[in-house]
């Protein structure tokens, strides 16, 4: 007797395990590493985040007090969040959504 | 080859780099007589990115992340091996709790990887519903991953000198609960792997790798354990493994079936090790920062899900490593794979190729020699 | 009317002999071509004319009887000479086994006297039609083939005179054989076909050809010995060696032994197990010989004999054993054919198998199965002639008999390959005649008692699937063409080739489509002589009472489908893209892919032969053993 | 031919066959998904697939391939029409073989190793199910005395009661015919295998659509034959056919793909063994 | 015409090619097919044969070795076709941006329709991306009709 038969028949008569995602929300786990956001009021343009970023996704322009964050280059490791001494970078738990074009988020004070 | 097949016209075809059964690009050029494999020639390098060179170019502290992305499946172990290398080069002592955490997460990664493999293997032998079933259960492991490190795949919790995240009592009890749930769901599947007649027929007596040849060709991990050699780097006692009770799992039948069973049993073993470690884990600090630059040479060997992974680092007292050589487990398993394939049928290609659990993105780094330095 | 018939009989037997002798004597290519072509035309014409004639008997006269007697002894002494020359004990022994009894029979018993020496009935006429139409086409085809063949062998002196002499003699002997009512005459013509066969197989004179020719000869001589056995049985039980007398006599065990001898002779001629090796060995001869032996002459002699005696054996165990031999042969050859590499060997196995099927049908011996046998015989001759001719052309063009070299032939020789493809399709696919025959055969089997039918049903199921397999994979292999949009290659062929192949192709298709007509007008009258009619066919349909084959609608649907398909695919069109090779295609080279170190390798495909699954040597041994056993059983069943 | 009611019903049935097949394939995918604890695609997903394929840019392998793909569908429909018009069962089988040959020639002609090996396996598929199906059909006509479906339907005793083993054999045949595990060696609908898409590898766009519809028709034809096992009541016959259909899906989900050697062995031993035993039993029972 | 357009939106068959990623995105693509996410709800089938695929899912950065494979696969897909760059590496090269053998994002080799950031991407993002891509296809088909 094939060993999977029981499981298969049980599956057939039970509710699918599927989360009908775009039509119902996917349950988010606490502490998910998602996008980041810069609080320019706290930032003192020390460029630590730019230095530690493994994928060089953050560009700090100290003169213009401007930070460019390339969300299509970021690997969402949140090392910058850990590193920032002024807690100027906020970790968000929603993930970046796909897009037709690559774009860069600019934070200005 | 038997006399009869001599002088026949042969079929030649490429298996990969794009092939639905292989998630990753590797090409095997097959020469088959009707359906019997006569010759096979590997062609690797499709995923070569030059990571070792990049490691030498980067700030050594940033490399954890690039090492983790050598392979998304054993990412934690790559990060761990790299940090261990740097820790040896900088004489950093890792806190006990951190080494326990690393052990737990390493086993979690093994669990994830073996479940992934069992699913992929099921799909490779045309057993789609088993694949779905295993991957459904695997979501529990990914959930634990996400609760721990904030991501389903990449934990990214290794830091030089320890780990970056701790586990509170709540999370630990979740671990126990989820592990029990996982085991309960996993039992019928393990039962299938051990007892199902059709599964046995598909996997037994193919891809035979005799003990002697396995040793001779330097197979590692479940491949060599499936040939009856109890070779397991965890027995060297790195991190917290020395304090835990486990024995390498071996099977003697030397075929694809043995390799599958090694992995099936290792999932149980991983769960057991995790439970032990979670119980024994002492309180204490998790990170021991050390600002020294790496100097000297260091060798680290860890047991990844696919076998022994080897890190060799040379530091020269600067922020850059002089040299970092990584030998991942799939590389030594390719020569045994070629040995396993010849003489079997086209229908056996999938299970045999999958039986070494190829992780091509691990494999593909070639030695890069800087001319000016050399 | 009788005179007209007698003239046609004389023409069909005498003309080939005369023009054969002429071609032996007269030099020159043109004369020979004209001679052969005219003979072919006359033969076709007279065999068609014979169709209009009802049954009649004919005694050629004393002089001919004496001539036959003298020639027969000459023939036997020649065989003895051949045996001594080639130091072949079987040939010597079997020749002596004939010489002594025949001498005794003739000079002591004076047993060869028969009232009606020749008898022309429906079956003879039908056979004559097959022999002469297909045979003549093959002989015409041989005109071109032998030119190329001798050019290829770089012969200094042409041996074509000799070749065409024996080819034509074979046709004449075949015609004479099917007319014969006297067993002695039948035996005489039988031996002439053996002679022709022997001489034609060793035509090229190589060592292999000589060995195989001798093998063919001694196997054929077994048939001769068996004939003599029947003659003695006939003489002692019925008092006559006229077939008509023997067949209408009360069946006694001794008489059945006589029939068993005839069946044995038929098996040896039709290459049934265990006698199949001679037909495979005959492949060394030039292809027209194979075409002639396999399609219309030689092997059909055995079939003719079985068909001739079948009505007398209705309901006997002997008949069942005959069916068993046929069924076993059909199944095993179909399996063996799968793994053959040499094109002509595949065809040979197919021939043996189909003859087995026909013999099986004759052995089942109901009205329906007899119909199936006749239909199969008819369409098999045409298709097999066509296929051998195609194979011959291909062989001369690509200098290989190995079907592995036939890959993608449709790109190189579009005309011949198309002929071959259709020819293969006629062998095993609906709506062609062979399949119609097989379909009737299946219907026939299920209308027989189960205890007997069951083993045959199983053999047929396996055999027909294997047949589909080996034809299909070969057919498919010819179409394996590279992915480039290539220019249409023009194929130039000599006229005889074109005429012969197109002619037989047309005959095959037209007769397949007109199968109901054929059955109504030629097959049914023939059946009616011995059985109750069971197949009714209207213009569109063949109905066996168990099933109905809608020949007309099927053809209409098929033709409509092809037209519609061509229309739709033309309209849709398409861009030709290279094959899927894992994404590593080399640009501009459709079958190459990049491999290790960026080297280029060619993707290739092999044929399907299941060589590791089918063990030819042991299957062959098994076939011989089971064949011998069945023949022993065949002689034992009379006692029961 | 006069248009009477039964002819019209036959024509309607024939025309509905591809649609029935499509719906059945949809049911198949939905059921498979549910057995794997998923939601699965909409029921009419197969029609979306085929329409999409039809509208795709036409890529072909060579000039023979599209015609052969069309002929595959055409002969599958012709075989189906033998069932729809209640004609000869035996001829239907031969026509199915013809359709298969067309598919294989299309696959062979592409000269791509994957589709070639797929075609080779398709031959083995034919070799394994054809003799068995032929035997089942012969068994049916041994009982009913005719090969004509009309005559078989007129037979009063339900065939299932006389030929229960043949019904079981049809399950094996159906699994092979539907290209389901464990016997999806030549190319399965959507599962991955060592041959990429096997016999379907080189089809693309409208040629694939034609082949797909042809496959539906073949499956429905086969199910219609299963329906003959309870001819007196068409509803029970349909239920029998659907039972085997669901059975095939169930088998698909509990078995891995086995080798073609195993396929041949299984179909031949089960097929020949069971049918012969059944026939012998009937023979001793005095039914035939 | 409406019916065919709807079918195109309802039945995107995908071809997955790993261009040199770390496997993270690959396994997430596979995970998206499994019961919890079940891409087949949208008619998505991982077909594995470029000749029958509509959507090319590329993971990982293009490198000097495999760009020709990617190009080839793209060329073997019949129109209409979509390319989705799955993962940060496929978009820009990500963490491998300074590796010596890497060319950067896959848009250096084939035109990309939808970019999915994330390392590794989550199955939900893949679903979002496919929905986005199909919207684009719908827009495309409409504009063709207007012409």
**Digit-coded pLDDT (tens) for B5-51:** 457 788 898 887 888 888 788 888 999 988 889 999 888 888 888 88
B71-107 tens-digit pLDDT: 888 888 889 999 999 999 998 889 999 999 999 999 9
Q: Which residue has the higher pLDDT, A23 or D13?
A: D13
**pLDDT score of A54:** 86
Domain boundaries, chain A: 28-108
Domain boundaries of chain C, sorted by first residue: 317-573+623-640
Q: What is the 3-state secondary structure (H, E, C) of chain B?
A: CCHHHCCCCCEEEEECCCECCECCCCEEEEEEECCEEEEEEEECCCCCCCHHHHHHHCCCCCHHHHHHCCCCCCHHHHHHHHHHHHHHHHCCCCCHHHHHHHHHHHHHHHHHHHHHHHHHHHHHCCCHHHHHHHHHHHHHHHHHHHHHHCCCCCCCCEECCEECCCCCHHHHHHHHHHHHHHHHHHHHHHHHHHHCHHHHHHHCCCCCCCHHHHHHHCCCCHHHHHCCCCCCHHHHCCCCHHHCCCCCCCCCCCCHHHHHHHHHHHHHHHHHHHHHHHHHCCCCCCECCCCCCCEEEEEEEEEECCEEEEEEEEEECCCCEEEEEEECCHHHHHHHHHHHHCCCEHHHHHHHHHHCCCCHHHHCCCCCCCCCCC
pLDDT at residue C498 is higher than 90: no
- Checking if the pLDDT of E143 tops 60, the result is no
- Specify the range with the lowest mean pLDDT, choosing from C374-383, C456-465, D54-63: D54-63
Q: What is the mean pLDDT of chain C?
A: 87
Q: What is the mean pLDDT of residues C622-634?
A: 90
Please indicate if any CB of chain D lies within 8 Å of the CB of A1: no
Residues in chain A whose beta carbon is closer than 8 A to a beta carbon of chain E? 16-22, 26, 54-56, 70-77, 95-102
Our CA-based measurement puts residue C582 at a distance from the nearest CA of chain E, in whole angstroms, of 8
C584 touches chain E (CB under 8 A): yes
Chain A hits for D253, CB-CB cut-off 8 Å, are 4, 8
Confidence of residue C550 (pLDDT cuts 50, 70, 90): confident
Mean pLDDT across chain B: 86
Which pLDDT value is given to residue C175? 92
User: Residue C54: pLDDT above 60?
Assistant: yes
Return the pLDDT at D79: 93
pLDDT, greater one: A95 or D208: D208
Residue D24 pLDDT? 93
Mutation site, D120, D201, D255, interface B, largest B CB count within 10 A:
D255
Q: Which of B14, B25, B44 to mutate to probe the C interface, most C CBs <10 Å?
A: B14
pLDDT class for B368, splitting at 50, 70, 90?
very low
pLDDT confidence of residue C314: 87
Condensed to tens digits (0 to 9), the pLDDT of residues D28-42 reads: 999 999 999 888 899
Report the residue of chain D nearest B202, measured CA to CA: D258
With cut-offs at 50, 70 and 90, classify the pLDDT of residue D276: very high
Chain A contact present for D27, CB below 8 A? no
The per-residue pLDDT for range B313-363, each reduced to its tens digit, is 998 888 888 888 888 888 888 888 898 999 898 888 989 998 888 887 666
ipTM of the complex: 0.90
Taking residues C599-625, what's their average pLDDT? 86
Q: What pLDDT is attached to residue B275?
A: 92
Domains defined along chain E, listed by start: 13-146 (3.40.50.12280)
Q: What is the mean pLDDT of residues D7-27?
A: 91
Q: Which residues of B touch E24 (CB under 8 A)?
A: 69, 72-73, 75, 153-154
Residue from D13, C27, C401, D255 nearest A4 by CA: D255
E contacts of B139 (beta carbons < 8 Å)? 31, 34, 36
* Residue E11, H or E segment: none
- pLDDT(D241) > 90: yes
Any CB–CB contact under 8 A between A77 and chain B? yes
Nearest by CB to residue E40, choosing from D33, D201, D202, is D33
C430–chain D Cβ distance below 8 A for any pair: yes
pLDDT digits (tens, 9 = 90+) for C190-207: 999 999 999 999 888 889
CB contact under 8 A, D35 and A12: yes
Asked if the model's pLDDT at residue E54 lies above 80, the reply is: yes
Q: How confident is the model at residue B369 (pLDDT cuts 50, 70, 90)?
A: very low
For C404-420, letters b (16+ CB in 10 Å) and e give bbbbbbbbbbebbbbbb
Cβ burial of D283 (10 Å; 0-12, 13-18, 19+) is middle
> pLDDT (tens digit, 9 = 90+) per residue, B223-281?
999 999 898 888 888 888 888 988 999 999 889 999 999 999 999 999 999 999 999 99
Put simply, the answer to whether D181 touches B126 (Cβ < 8 Å) is yes
pLDDT at C254 over 70: yes
pLDDT of residue B22: 81
Delimit the domains of chain D by residue range.
11-285
Q: Which of the 8 DSSP states describes residue A103?
A: -
Does the pLDDT at position E101 exceed 90?
Answer: no
pLDDT in tens, C262-302: 999 999 988 888 888 888 888 888 889 988 888 888 888 99
Per cent of chain C over pLDDT 90 is 31
Portion of chain C with pLDDT greater than 70, in percent: 98
Among B212-226, C13-27, C50-64, C459-473, the range scoring the smallest mean pLDDT is C50-64
Average pLDDT of chain D, as a whole number: 89
pLDDT at D203 over 80: yes
- 8 Å CB contact of E125 and A98: yes
Q: Does B17 touch chain C (CB under 8 A)?
A: yes
| C-beta atoms of D257 and B127 within 8 A | yes
Tokens standing for residue B324: 């970092």
**Which among E41, E98, E115 has CB closest to A72?**
E115
CATH 1.20.120.530 fits A28-108, yes or no: no
Q: Do A98 and E92 touch (CB under 8 A)?
A: no
Residues 594-613 (C) with a CB less than 8 A from some CB of E: 594
Q: Which residues of chain E from 67 to 86 reach within 8 Å of chain C, CB to CB?
A: 68-70, 72-73, 75-76
* Domains observed in chain B: 3-43 (no CATH), 56-363 (1.10.645.10)
pLDDT at residue C357 above 90?
A: yes
Q: Tell me if chain B has a CB within 8 Å of the CB of D257.
A: yes
pLDDT at B4: 39
Per-residue pLDDT reduced to its tens digit, E2-51? 888 888 888 889 998 888 888 888 888 988 888 888 888 888 888 888 88
Nearest to D130 among C465, C557, C568 (CB): C465
């Amino acid at each position: 007797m094939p060993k999977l038969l029981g499981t298969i028949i049980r599956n057939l008569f039970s509710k699918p395990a599927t989360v009908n995602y775009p039509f119902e929300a996917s349950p988010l786990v606490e502490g998910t590493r998602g996008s980041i956001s810069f609080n320019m009021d706290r930032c003192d343009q020390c460029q630590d985040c730019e230095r530690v970023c493994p994928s060089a996704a953050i560009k700090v322009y100290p003169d213009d007090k401007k930070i460019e964050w390339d969300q299509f280059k970021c690997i969402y490791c949140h090392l910058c969040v850990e590193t920032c001494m002024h807690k100027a970078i906020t970790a968000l738990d929603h993930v970046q959504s796909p897009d037709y074009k690559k774009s860069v988020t600019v934070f200005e004070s | 080859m038997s006399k009869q097949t001599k002088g026949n016209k042969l079929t030649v075809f490429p298996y990969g780099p794009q092939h639905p059964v292989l998630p990753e690009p590797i090409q095997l050029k097959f020469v088959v007589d009707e359906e019997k494999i006569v010759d096979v020639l590997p062609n690797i390098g499709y995923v070569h990115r030059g990571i070792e060179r990049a490691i030498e170019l980067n700030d050594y502290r940033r490399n954890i992340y690039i090492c983790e992305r050598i392979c998304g499946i054993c990412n934690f172990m790559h990060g761990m091996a790299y940090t261990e290398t740097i820790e040896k080069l900088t004489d950093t002592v890792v806190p006990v709790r951190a080494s326990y955490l690393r052990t737990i997460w390493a086993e979690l990664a093994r669990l994830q990887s073996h479940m992934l493999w069992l699913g992929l293997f099921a799909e490779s032998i045309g057993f789609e519903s088993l694949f779905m079933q295993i991957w459904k259960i695997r979501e529990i492991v990914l959930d634990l991953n996400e609760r721990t490190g904030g991501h389903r795949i990449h934990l990214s919790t290794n830091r030089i000198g320890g780990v970056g995240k701790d586990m509170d009592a709540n999370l630990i009890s979740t671990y126990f609960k989820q592990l029990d749930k996982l085991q309960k769901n996993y039992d019928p599947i393990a039962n299938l792997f051990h007892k199902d007649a059709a599964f046995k027929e598909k996997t037994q007596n193919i891809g035979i790798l005799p003990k002697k040849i396995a040793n001779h060709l330097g197979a590692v991990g479940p491949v060599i354990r499936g040939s009856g050699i109890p070779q397991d780097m965890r027995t060297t006692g790195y991190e917290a493994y020395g304090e835990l009770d486990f024995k390498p799992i071996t099977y003697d039948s030397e075929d694809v079936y043995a390799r599958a069973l090694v992995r099936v049993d290792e999932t149980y073993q991983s769960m057991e090790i995790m439970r032990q470690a979670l119980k024994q884990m002492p309180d204490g600090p998790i990170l021991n920062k050390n600002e020294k630059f790496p100097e000297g040479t260091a060798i680290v060997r860890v047991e990844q899900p696919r076998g022994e992974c080897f890190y060799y680092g040379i530091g020269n007292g600067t922020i850059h490593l002089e040299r970092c050589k990584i030998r991942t487990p799939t590389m030594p398993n390719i020569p045994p794979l070629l040995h396993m394939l010849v003489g079997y049928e086209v229908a056996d290609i999938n299970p045999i190729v999958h039986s070494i659990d190829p992780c091509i993105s691990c494999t593909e780094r070639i030695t890069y020699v800087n001319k000016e330095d050399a | 009317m009788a005179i007209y018939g007698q003239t046609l009989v004389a023409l069909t037997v005498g003309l080939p002999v005369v023009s054969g002798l002429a071609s032996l004597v007269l030099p020159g290519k043109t004369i020979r071509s004209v001679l052969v072509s005219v003979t072919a035309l006359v033969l076709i014409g007279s065999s068609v004319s014979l169709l209009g004639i009802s049954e009649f008997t004919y005694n050629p006269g004393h002089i001919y009887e004496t001539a036959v007697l003298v020639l027969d002894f000459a023939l036997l002494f020649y065989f003895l000479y051949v045996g001594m020359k080639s130091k072949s004990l079987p040939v010597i022994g079997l020749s002596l086994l004939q010489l002594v009894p025949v001498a005794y029979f003739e000079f002591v018993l004076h047993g060869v006297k028969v009232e009606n020496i020749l008898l022309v009935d429906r079956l003879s006429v039908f056979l004559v039609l097959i022999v002469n139409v297909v045979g003549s086409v093959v002989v015409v085809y041989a005109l071109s083939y032998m030119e190329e063949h001798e050019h290829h062998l770089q012969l200094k002196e042409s041996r074509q005179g000799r070749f065409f002499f024996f080819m034509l003699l074979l046709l004449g002997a075949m015609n004479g054989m099917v007319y014969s009512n006297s067993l002695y005459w039948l035996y005489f013509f039988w031996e002439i076909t053996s002679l022709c066969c022997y001489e034609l197989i060793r035509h090229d004179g190589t060592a292999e050809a000589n060995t195989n020719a001798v093998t063919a000869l001694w196997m054929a001589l077994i048939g001769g010995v068996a004939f003599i056995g029947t003659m003695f049985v006939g003489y002692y039980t019925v008092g006559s060696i006229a077939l008509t007398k023997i067949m209408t006599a009360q069946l006694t065990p001794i008489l059945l032994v006589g029939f068993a001898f005839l069946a044995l002779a038929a098996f040896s001629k039709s290459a049934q197990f265990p006698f199949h090796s001679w037909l495979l060995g005959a492949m060394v001869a030039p292809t027209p010989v194979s075409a002639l032996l396999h399609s219309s002459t030689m092997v059909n002699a055995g079939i003719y004999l079985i068909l001739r005696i079948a009505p007398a054996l209705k309901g006997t165990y002997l008949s069942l054993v005959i069916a068993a031999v046929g069924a076993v042969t059909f199944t095993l050859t179909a399996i063996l054919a799968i793994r053959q590499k040499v094109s002509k060997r595949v065809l040979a196995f197919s021939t043996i198998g189909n003859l087995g099927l026909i013999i099986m049908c004759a052995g089942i011996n109901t009205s329906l199965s007899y119909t199936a046998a006749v239909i199969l015989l008819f369409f098999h001759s045409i298709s097999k002639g066509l296929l051998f001719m195609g194979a011959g052309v291909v062989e001369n063009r690509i200098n290989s008999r190995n079907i592995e070299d036939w890959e993608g032939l449709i790109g190189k020789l579009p005309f011949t390959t198309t002929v071959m493809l259709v020819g293969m399709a006629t062998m095993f696919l609906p709506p062609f005649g062979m399949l119609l025959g097989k379909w009737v055969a299946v219907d026939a089997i299920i209308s027989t008692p189960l205890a007997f039918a069951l083993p045959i049903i199983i053999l047929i199921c396996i055999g027909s699937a294997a047949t589909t397999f080996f034809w299909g994979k070969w057919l498919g292999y010819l179409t394996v063409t590279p992915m480039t949009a290539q220019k249409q290659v023009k194929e130039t062929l000599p006229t005889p080739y074109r005429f012969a192949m197109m002619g037989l192709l047309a005959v095959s298709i037209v007769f397949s489509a007109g199968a109901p007509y054929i059955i109504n007008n030629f097959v049914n009258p023939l059946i009616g002589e011995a059985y109750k009619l069971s197949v009714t066919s209207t213009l569109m349909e063949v109905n066996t009472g168990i099933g109905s084959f809608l020949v007309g609608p099927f053809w209409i649907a098929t033709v409509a489908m092809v037209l519609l398909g061509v229309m739709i695919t033309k309209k849709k069109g398409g861009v030709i893209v290279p094959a899927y090779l894992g994404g590593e295609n080399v640009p501009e080279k459709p079958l190459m892919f990049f491999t290790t170190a960026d080297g280029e390798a060619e993707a290739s495909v092999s044929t399907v032969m299941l060589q590791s699954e089918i063990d030819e040597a042991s299957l062959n041994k098994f076939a011989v053993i089971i064949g011998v056993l069945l023949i022993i059983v065949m002689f034992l069943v009379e006692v029961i | 031919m006069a248009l009477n009611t039964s002819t019209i019903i036959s024509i309607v049935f024939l025309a509905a066959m591809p649609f029935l097949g499509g719906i059945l394939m949809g049911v198949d995918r939905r059921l498979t998904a549910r057995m794997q604890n998923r939601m699965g695609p909409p029921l009419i997903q197969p029609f979306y697939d085929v329409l999409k394929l039809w509208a795709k840019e036409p890529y072909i392998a060579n000039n023979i391939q599209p015609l052969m793909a069309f002929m595959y569908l055409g002969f599958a429909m012709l075989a189906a029409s033998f069932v729809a018009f209640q004609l000869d069962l035996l001829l239907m089988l031969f026509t199915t073989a013809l359709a298969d040959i067309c598919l294989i020639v299309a696959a062979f002609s592409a000269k791509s190793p994957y589709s070639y090996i797929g075609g080779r396996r398709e031959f083995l598929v034919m070799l394994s199910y054809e003799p068995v199906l032929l035997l089942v059909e012969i068994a049916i006509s041994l009982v009913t005395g005719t090969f004509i479906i009309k005559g078989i339907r007129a037979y009063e005793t339900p065939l299932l009661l006389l030929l229960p083993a043949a019904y079981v054999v049809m399950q094996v045949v159906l699994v092979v015919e539907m290209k389901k595990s464990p016997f999806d060696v030549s190319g399965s609908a959507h599962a991955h295998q060592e041959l990429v898409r096997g016999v379907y590898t080189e089809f693309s766009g409208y040629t694939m659509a034609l082949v797909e519809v042809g496959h539906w028709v073949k499956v429905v034809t086969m199910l219609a034959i299963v329906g003959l096992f309870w001819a007196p009541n068409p509803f029970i016959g349909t239920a029998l056919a659907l039972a085997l259909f669901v059975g095939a899906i169930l088998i698909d989900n509990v078995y891995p793909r086995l080798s073609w050697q195993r396929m041949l062995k299984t179909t031949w031993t089960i097929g020949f063994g069971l049918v012969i035993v059944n026939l012998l039993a009937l023979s001793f029972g005095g039914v035939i | 015409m409406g019916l065919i357009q709807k079918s195109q939106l309802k039945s995107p068959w995908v071809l997955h090619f790993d261009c040199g990623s770390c496997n993270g995105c690959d396994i997430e693509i596979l995970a998206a097919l499994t019961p919890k996410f079940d891409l087949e709800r949208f008619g998505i089938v991982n077909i594995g044969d470029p000749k029958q695929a509509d959507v090319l899912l590329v993971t990982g950065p293009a490198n000097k070795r495999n760009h020709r494979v990617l190009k080839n696969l793209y060329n073997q897909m019949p129109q209409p076709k979509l390319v989705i760059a799955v993962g940060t590496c496929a978009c820009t090269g990500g963490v491998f941006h300074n590796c010596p053998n890497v060319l950067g994002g896959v848009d250096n080799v084939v035109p990309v329709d939808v970019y999915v950031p994330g390392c590794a991407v989550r199955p939900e993002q893949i679903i979002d991306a496919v929905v986005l891509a199909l919207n684009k296809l719908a827009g495309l088909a409409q504009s063709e009709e207007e012409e």
